[in-house]
């Protein structure tokens, strides 16, 4: 079974358990922390994926990283993933949890691709634009891709708005090619 399907299964299970205990908000905050921590730490990624390191060593290292920062439910998830030899998908489970949680709470995730990181001011402008377009609250996921040169690409669900410089250049190029063939 691939990691993605398993990650969704674990994410749904932890969300269901968190809802029963009315801890879904706290666990969502945990999952954001876990996803960011895993994403930002090459050492942690190596630890999670290492086939050589013993489970006990991984468990104590993760306790060290997350102790006092996450709920017992999240520690339980980490232990379960270790026991089931699924620790490499921890970051993915965390991301899937937040996606399912946001969907449950009616919060859209707006993916904004920019050449450089969004400033706080631009972040606010994008959020108000998303509310204007969808009528729903949203969280912003900023993807940085220097290839778009400038501008932005906004994706909310299946709606995409491409206002990137690279897209405008492509349109210009196609227009230019059409003109040169027709004359």
pLDDT number for residue 83:
93
pLDDT number for residue 170:
85
pLDDT number for residue 111:
86
The enclosing H or E element of 101 equals helix 90-104
**At what angle are helices 24-40 and 90-104 packed, to 10 degrees?**
140
pLDDT number for residue 2:
58
Q: Max CA-CA distance within the chain?
A: 73
pLDDT number for residue 1:
45
pLDDT number for residue 39:
87
The enclosing H or E element of 102 equals helix 90-104
pLDDT number for residue 59:
92
The enclosing H or E element of 161 equals strand 159-164
Q: What is the pLDDT of residues 78-96, one digit of tens each?
A: 999 999 999 999 999 999 9
Which positions of the chain have pLDDT values less than 50? Answer: 1
């Amino acid at each position: 079974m691939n990691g993605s399907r398993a990650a969704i299964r674990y994410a749904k299970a932890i969300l269901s358990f968190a809802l029963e205990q009315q801890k879904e908000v706290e666990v969502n905050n945990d999952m954001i922390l876990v996803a960011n921590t895993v994403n930002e730490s090459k050492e942690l990624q190596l630890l999670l994926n290492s086939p050589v390191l013993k489970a006990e060593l991984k468990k104590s290292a993760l306790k060290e990283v997350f102790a006092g920062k996450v709920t017992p439910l999240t520690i339980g998830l980490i232990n379960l993933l270790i026991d089931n030899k699924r620790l490499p998908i921890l970051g993915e489970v965390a991301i899937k949890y937040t996606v399912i949680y946001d969907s449950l709470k009616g919060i859209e995730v707006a993916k904004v691709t920019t050449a450089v990181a969004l400033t706080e001011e631009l972040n606010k402008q994008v959020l108000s634009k998303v509310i204007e377009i969808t009528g729903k609250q949203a969280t912003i996921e900023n993807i940085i891709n220097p290839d778009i040169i400038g501008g932005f690409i906004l994706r909310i669900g299946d709606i995409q708005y491409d206002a990137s410089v690279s897209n405008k250049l492509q349109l210009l190029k196609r227009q230019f090619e059409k003109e040169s063939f027709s004359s």
